[in-house]
Amino acid sequence: MFELQPTLTGKLIKLRPLQLDDYAALHKAASDPLIWEQHPNSDRYKEEVFRGYFDGAIESGGALVILDAKTGEVIGSSRYYGLDESASEIEIGWTFLTTKYWGGTYNRELKDLMLGHAFRFVDHVLFFVGPNNKRSRKAVEKLGATYVDTRSRFGGESVVYRLSKSDCVLESCN
């Protein structure tokens, strides 16, 4: 049975289930407009918009908060969503990191931990990315994910990438 909210620990980060009392720290982490610049919801840094994101994360039952492993500081969030056991796939998405942690190594470890967990239970992971989010598209392509199609959902369009366990370039996938 797929555990949607595991605690996962790496060298740089720790992921744990998102809780209601994480709101203030997570909003603080999300309050930089640069984080959302290429995102379809480019105003998510605003309190009233972020509240919807946070409530959706809690309701999803698969949201994780990302902590700096050394300091314990909240540096972002991600989640598992849409488990489809018959297709042996799940989505990893709604991910953001504070700009201080951009540059590859933290996001790479995040994906490594989440994919390693996912591929214990499913054969494929989907990534839904805003069409203009070049940073995120490039990041999932580096993992070995391939473009599948464009889909409308939640009031906007997303490009969909699929990563099969056999195509994943990270050590945790094998």
Residue 119 in domain? yes
H or E, element range at 25: helix 23-30
Q: Which of 98, 107, 85, 72 shows the shortest CA–CA distance to 4?
A: 85
Q: Rounded distance, CA 91 to CA 163, Å?
A: 10
Task: Write the pLDDT tens digit of every residue in 90-123.
Answer: 999 999 999 999 987 999 899 999 999 999 999 9
pTM of the model: 0.94
Contact 79, 93 (CB under 8 A): yes
Q: Which domain, by its residues, includes 30?
A: 8-124+131-139
Is residue 72 included in any domain, yes or no? yes
Residue type at 63 in one-letter notation: A
Using the structure block, give the residue that is written with the tokens 């105003």: 43
Beta bridge partners of 153: 156
Q: Is residue 88 part of a domain?
A: yes
Q: How far apart are CA 160 and CA 75, in angstroms?
A: 25
How many structural domains is the chain composed of? Answer: 1
Residue 49 lies inside a defined structural domain of this protein: yes
Assess contact for 111 and 138: CB atoms under 8 A: no
- Reported as a single tens digit per residue, the pLDDT across 47-103 is 999 999 999 999 999 999 999 999 999 999 999 999 999 999 999 999 999 999 998
Judged against a pLDDT cut of 90, whether residue 168 lies above it is answered with no
Strand partners, 88: none
Residue among 122, 114, 112, 169 nearest 146 (CA): 169
Q: What is the mean pLDDT of the chain?
A: 94
37 in a structural domain: yes
CATH code, domain carrying 115: 3.40.630.30
Determine, yes or no, domain membership for 144: no
Question: Does residue 56 form part of some domain?
Answer: yes
Handedness of CA 131, 41, 3, 16 (dihedral sign): positive
In contact, 38 and 130? CB cutoff 8 Å: yes
What would the pLDDT profile of 6-48 be if each residue is shown by its tens digit? 999 999 999 999 999 999 999 999 999 999 998 888 899 999 9
Task: Give the torsion sign (CA, 66, 70, 71, 72).
Answer: positive
Please indicate, yes or no, if residue 159 is contained in any of the structural domains: no
